[in-house]
Amino acid sequence: MEVKIGYPNQWRDYSMLSVDRESYLGNTLNANRFEFRRNLAKLGKPIDRSEWGMTPPTVNAYNNSSMNEIVFPAGIMQPPFYDPNADDAVNYGGMGAVIGHEITHGFDDHGSKFDAQGNLKDWWRPEDLKNFQARAACVSDQFDGYVVDGDLHENGKLVLGESIADLGGLTIAYAAYEKSLAGKPRPPYKDGFTPEQRFFLGWTQVWGANERIEYARLMANTNPHPLPRFRGNGPLSNMAEFRKAFGCKKGEPMVREQTCKIW
Ligand SMILES: [Zn+2]
């Protein structure tokens, strides 16, 4: 799996794109034409594996199956995702889990259809898919249960891939954090929280958000990502590591009766 972080090795040449103060529509049309021509010019040429699908300041990340790569623009490498001055627990819970999220996309029902070179070639055995689907059903049911507004719930099937990536990403980021501590003195309490608690707080700080009800409804109906509030709490309520860190008991809101585990 190829990893790209920060910004491309070579800047894209925009010198042929004209932008002026005359017309917003004109600029938009120019930009679309420029991008269309840039894409057309790729025809017949070998694939450019150095190309980026996001600009450096974008606060986002992606897994591109057809290049078998995970990409993290500079924009996401800042708080609340990553802070060079924060302690490791917080950064593993934030950026670490985002990196884990993108990795696991390569191993889900979508990533399984692409081989190591990014060619459309399924590499799972039929029983792998069956096992995956059985475990995935648990996550789908979980998100079906979340109420967005009135009688509108999250759509478990719509948000399934992203919710699985959050759960899987957190699970491997937590394992990576534990591994990083092995053989070292245990990090002290900070602001009254244990390192394990800070890991989970790092994750939920990423999802602190506010949106109007109209936007929440639009998201729930159309966006494959769950609403931030459910991305924050949803995966944690499946994790034994979270229950242990905060001493949650059976029957409490952040402990699901039936916990889901994919990886
Ligand atoms: Zn994703």
Q: Nearest-5° angle of CA 176, CA 180, CA 182?
A: 115
Measured in angstroms, how far is the CA atom of residue 43 from the centroid of ligand 1?
Answer: 29
CA of 194 to the centre of ligand 1 (A): 29
| Whether the predicted pLDDT of 158 surpasses 90 | yes
Catalytic residue ranges: 102, 166
* Residue 95: Cβ within 10 Å count: 24
Q: What is the pTM of this model?
A: 0.93
What pLDDT was estimated at residue 16? 92
What pLDDT is recorded for position 80?
96
pLDDT given at position 263: 82
C-alpha–C-alpha distance, residues 70 and 100, integer Å: 10
Q: What pLDDT, on the 0 to 100 scale, is given for residue 109?
A: 85
For ligand 1, the distance from its centroid to the CA atom of residue 162, given in whole angstroms, is 5
pLDDT at 233: 97
Q: Please check the confidence at residue 160 and state whether its pLDDT lies above 90.
A: yes
Mean pLDDT of 118-130: 95
Cα dihedral 49/51/53/58 (nearest 10): 130
What is the whole-number distance in angstroms between the Cα of residue 110 and the centre of ligand 1?
11
Nearest to 151 by CA among 229, 219, 220: 220
Average confidence (pLDDT) over 79-94: 97
Token pair, residue 25, equals 């529509």
Banded pLDDT at 149 (limits 50, 70, 90): very high
Q: End-to-end distance of the chain based on CA atoms, in angstroms?
A: 18
**Could you give the angle at which helices 126-144 and 160-181 cross, rounded to 10 degrees?**
100
**How far does residue 16's CA lie from ligand 1's centre (Å)?**
34
Cβ(232)–Cβ(209) under 8 Å? no
β-pair type (152-153, 147-149): antiparallel
